[in-house]
Every structure is written in structure tokens, then in C-alpha cells.
Amino acid sequence: MTDRKKLSGFFTPAVTVSCVILLIVALTAVFAPLIAPYDPLETDLGSTLLPPSPSHLLGTDQNGRDIFSRMLFGGRTTILGAFGIVLFSMAVGIPSGLIAGYFGGIADRILMRVTDVIVSFPTLLLAFVFVGVLGRGLRNSVLAIGIVYIPMTARLTRSLCLGEKNRGYVEALRSQGCPVPRILFLQILPNCIPTLSSQLTLDIGYAIIDLASMSFIGLGVQLPDCDWGAMLEESRSLIFTRPVSALAPGFAIAITVIAINILSDGVQRYLDPTRRKLKRSVLRHG
């Protein structure tokens, strides 16, 4: 199968729509300072709770701030925070999982016991504990959620490494005296990328929800700064009088996470030949 055919198989209608949505979200987040018509922190008590209009596309909040501008900057904070969580968990979890899976022994046992303890608690509950120790704020929330994500990333990497370390190419490299770091990061890790890519893409969606939840209860972004979770918390008392102020950030969270989930499934199907073969078989015999 040529690369063009593979790409055409990847860009199904659902994946294409998801990519377009995520591209729009990413571009609006990157260029928020250029797109936003108003300063998201600027208050105007003479223009509170205005309905949507050409001058204020989504209206204004109870402090007279333009909701559309806050949506753009809030999306930037939410998306960057979610990427920060996943990158932090990757930076620590992937090397830990590779080392534990390759060497085994006490490092492997410690990793598994820590993972068992962490996965036995809800993610947000542990994040609350870490934020309680570190203090409120976006940076500490990203760090706290990232710490909670590390064992899951490490556990997945370990399981993939266990399946690779006894393969023939690894045995051949060992017999040639190849350094262990080279075996781990230049040989084993690339073969783990298909599964890791799909899972880490999915983790970005989870991170958006978790970070928004932290801000919603006041542990994440602190006023007057904003992200989508903080905007939801600010507008919950206005849900019946000014529903757009609550529906806008809620819709943004929902549509972004759904698009990420669909893209994650498409990435896994594209990178995993067995799933492509299974799909073709189902279509042929369906």
C-alpha cells in the first residue's frame, strides 16, 4: 500500500472533521492576541451582561469583560496546560517505563507498586492532594496532574518494552555490545511509538478535562486570568439568565475533547497495521 493510500485511509470523514476542528482551536489559541477584539482582563462595569451582538460576539460577563476574547485566551491557557501535563508525564514516565521493563528487578517492582497505588485512586483526588501541598495556580495544577499521569505512562511504556526486549534485533544488538541507552531509546522506543502516540493523544483530552475541573473548583487558574474551566465556574450562576456565557466554554471543552478522541483512534488505526487489516476484513465480509 502506498503512502497516499495510507493517508486516504487515515483521513476518514470523522478524522478530517476532527483535524479541522483541532486546527481551528490551535490557531485561535496561538493567535489569540491578534484575533481577540478586547483585552480579556479589561472590565467595564457599564457593559455588564450584554447579549451577543456584532461588537461582542458572545456578549459580556458580570464584570463587563468580552466573553469571546476570554474564550480565545482561555483556550490558549487550557490547550497549553494540557500539553504541559502530557509532556511532563512523557519526560518522566517513558524513560522510567523503559528502564523498568528492560532491567526488571527492584526498579520494576517499585514502579509497579507505585502504579498500583496511584491507579487505585481517582486522578483528580490525587491531584487535589498535590495541589494542597504545592499551592493553587495553573503551574502547580499542571505539575500535580502531570505527576498523577506519570505512572500510567510508565506502566504502558514498561508493558511495550517487555514485548520488545526479547526480540531478535535486541538480542543481536546486545551480542554486538551496543550501549543500553542506544538500545532503549533508538531501537526499542521507536517500536513503541504507535501505541504511545495513540495513548498520549488521548491523554491530551483527559488533561483538558482534568485541568478544567481543577479550575472549576478554584484550584487551577486564579482570577482574573481565565481558562475554560474557570469561565464555567464564573458563569454557572448565570446559566438560566445568560446561558451563552456558560454554554460557550462548555461546548469548547466538549467539542475539543471529542475531536481529540476521534483523532486518537485514527492515529492508532493508521499506525497499527493489524487494525487496518481488521477493518478491511470487516468491510469485505460485512
Residue 229 contacts residue 213 (beta carbons within 8 Å): yes
Give residue-wise pLDDT tens across range 170-188: 988 888 888 999 999 999 9
The per-residue pLDDT for 250 is 92
The per-residue pLDDT for 142 is 94
Burial readout 18-32 (b: 16 or more C-beta within 10 A, e: otherwise): bbebbeebeebbeeb
On average, the pLDDT of the chain sits at: 86
Measure the CA–CA gap between 97 and 89, rounded to whole angstroms.
11
Residue 78 contacts residue 228 (beta carbons within 8 Å): yes
Residue 14 pLDDT greater than 70, yes or no: yes
pTM value > 0.85: yes
The per-residue pLDDT for 184 is 92
Residue 277 pLDDT greater than 80, yes or no: no
Residue 129's pLDDT band (boundaries 50, 70, 90)?
A: confident
Residue 94 contacts residue 154 (beta carbons within 8 Å): yes
The per-residue pLDDT for 286 is 38
- Name the least confident of 9-18, 134-143, 223-232: 9-18
The per-residue pLDDT for 153 is 92
- Name the least confident of 1-5, 91-95, 172-176: 1-5
Residue 123 contacts residue 249 (beta carbons within 8 Å): no
Q: What is the CATH number of domain 59-285?
A: 1.10.3720.10
The per-residue pLDDT for 273 is 56
Q: Is 179 exposed, middle or buried (0-12, 13-18, 19+ CB in 10 A)?
A: exposed
- Rounded to an integer, the average pLDDT of 132-161 is 91
- Rounded to an integer, the average pLDDT of 197-212 is 92
The per-residue pLDDT for 265 is 86
